[in-house]
Amino acid sequence: MKVAIVHYWLVGMRGGEKVLEAFLDIYPDAVIVTHVYDPGSVSDKIRQHEVRQTFIGRLPGAKSHYKKYLPLMPMVELAGFHRVVVS
């Protein structure tokens, strides 16, 4: 079963990222789908998984102003996954 765990942005380690790590324990083969990804700001546990950054991460200013792109986030394509978990 192909599982995606959607985490809107990965730019630090706070409470939401701890929840993401717990989901990774439940779904160890899951793909992480995120809009903005800064590998240097997350744990080794998260970096060890496949992380797919969406088109939003390539938009101007996305790394620092990612919250401005919230209205675009539902447009992300998740076809091909059997289960989608949103953290």
What pLDDT does 12 receive?
A: 85
User: In this predicted model, what pLDDT tens digit does every residue of 7-23 receive, in sequence order?
Assistant: 988 988 898 899 999 99
Domain boundaries, given as residue ranges, for the chain = 3-86
The answer to whether the pTM exceeds 0.85 is yes
pLDDT score of 3 more than 90: yes
Kindly tell me if the per-residue pLDDT of 61 is higher than 90.
no
pLDDT at 22: 97
d(CA 42, CA 38): 7
Task: Give the torsion through C-alpha atoms of 69, 11, 82, 72, to 10 deg.
Answer: 0
